[in-house]
Amino acid sequence: MKKIGVLTSGGDAPGMNAAVRAVVRAGCEKGMEVIGIKRGYQGLINGDMELMDLRSVSDIINRGGTILYSARCLEFKEQAGIQKGIDSCREHEIEGIVVIGGDGSFRGARDLSLGGIPCVGIPGTIDNDIACCDYTIGYDTCLNTIMEMVDRVRDTTESHDRCSVIEVMGRRAGYLALNAGIAVGATAILLPEFDYDIEKDVIERMRRTQKTGKRHFIVIVAEGVGGTEELARKIEKELGVESRAVILGHVQRGGTPTCRDRVVASQMGYRAVQLLEKGIGNRVVAMQHEQILDFDIYEALSMTKSIDKELYDMALEISI
Ligand code: ADP
Ligand code: F6P
């Protein structure tokens, strides 16, 4: 391929810039023209794009967000929108695209590939909810941000003998909640993947720890579980522990990417360009057991992954 595009789509994630940088640098070094497409599929449809060079991606490896901007383009979920995307590629002579985003973005990449524009997906989402990957770009930074934020909340929780019920992001997935919960030593962790009984899994656990002398508590609730404010009120009522609900929100999605996110993003961006260079599309780059692999997009979208029950059980046993 002589001319490729790169776009970021769906929720932004720290490390996306490092992936964009790798794509642009690898593409340029392989003698390709690399087009930066703005605001995901919306920019593709609108022709909002520009030629990038080696220097366009200087000083971005350390920055969160995405210099290409991102969007959730509803039009692209319809055949007419996809056709506009294909037409735009033809008009701008873009032969292949690297799509950095989550599985919604991969569906778009699959549709474009089907329409004759080979695409390679790179998993970029803080949620770590992409089945073919152990690890997605942004996940590590987000976990570290949550840990740091909860450590701060903990100082005041402890000073006031309170309980802080903290809701973390993850959409329908509990990977962030489970791992952050372990890292902060939460007394209870509620995940959408496992059934829970508030009485037994939160109130009783807290009661047991109270008997051992514990006076302040952190409870982590995954966004996919919700009910954070109500839970804080219930804890206060049943245990007499003053409680606060804390919804961490979008602070979790920003900030400078960790070393791990920068390295993995660089590796994935490089692999994506290697594939397009060979004319190979309809692939998703993935990380499994620390190896960079790639899968057919159809195959990747039909895979499932489960959350580690043993890890969850361990967390409960040692956080009492
Ligand atoms: P993520 O990629 O983070 O999972 P979304 O699910 O919001 O985020 O998807 C991002 C974008 O991918 C959507 O705004 C849309 O442009 C595109 N997309 C999502 N689902 C589809 C689909 N079924 N077919 C084509 N494109 C899709
Ligand atoms: O997918 C990333 C994510 O931050 C989820 O964790 C969260 O559910 C969602 O995006 C929030 O989306 P928005 O930025 O549109 O509020």
The verdict on whether 127 is a catalytic residue reads yes
Q: Where are the domains of the chain?
A: 3-138+257-302, 139-254
**Ligand 2 center to 171 CA (angstroms):** 6
105 lines ligand 1 (CB under 6 A): yes
- Looking at residue 174, its pLDDT comes to 98
> What's the pLDDT band for 207 if we cut at 50, 70, 90?
very high
In this structure, which residue's CA is closest to atom 26 in ligand 1?
Answer: 108
Ligand nearest to the CA of 75: 1
136 lines ligand 1 (CB under 6 A): no
CA 13-19-24 angle, to 5 degrees, is 140
> What's the pLDDT band for 6 if we cut at 50, 70, 90?
very high
- pTM equals 0.97
Closest CA to 292 of 14, 19, 12, 9: 19
On whether the CB atoms of residues 16 and 7 are closer than 8 A, the answer is no
CATH 3.40.50.460 fits 139-254, yes or no: yes
Task: Choose which residue among 128, 137, 169 to substitute to test ligand 2 binding: the one with the highest number of ligand atoms within 8 A of its C-beta.
Answer: 169
pLDDT over 90 percentage in the chain: 99
Q: List, chain by chain if needed, residues with CB within 6 Å of any ligand 2 atom.
A: 11, 125-127, 169-171, 223, 253
**Ligand 1 center to 301 CA (angstroms):** 12
Closest CA to 123 of 45, 168, 84, 175: 175
- Looking at residue 248, its pLDDT comes to 98
In this structure, which residue's CA is closest to atom 9 in ligand 2?
Answer: 171
Region 267-286: what's the mean pLDDT? 98
Closest CA to 6 of 46, 45, 55, 52: 52
In this structure, which residue's CA is closest to atom 6 in ligand 2?
Answer: 170
Region 212-221: what's the mean pLDDT? 97
Q: Which CATH class is domain 3-138+257-302?
A: alpha beta
Q: What is the pLDDT of residues 30-59, one digit of tens each?
A: 999 999 999 999 999 999 999 999 999 999
Collect all residues with Cβ–Cβ distance below 8 Å to 284 and sequence separation of at least 6. Answer: 106, 109, 120, 121, 122, 123, 130, 132, 294, 295, 296, 297, 300
**Ligand 2 center to 91 CA (angstroms):** 33
**Ligand 1 center to 109 CA (angstroms):** 9
Task: Inform me whether the pLDDT recorded for 320 exceeds 90.
Answer: no
Task: Choose which residue among 9, 86, 103, 137 to substitute to test ligand 1 binding: the one with the highest number of ligand atoms within 8 A of its C-beta.
Answer: 9
Same fold, 3-138+257-302 and 139-254: yes
Q: What is the pLDDT of residues 100-138, one digit of tens each?
A: 999 999 999 999 999 999 999 999 999 999 999 999 999
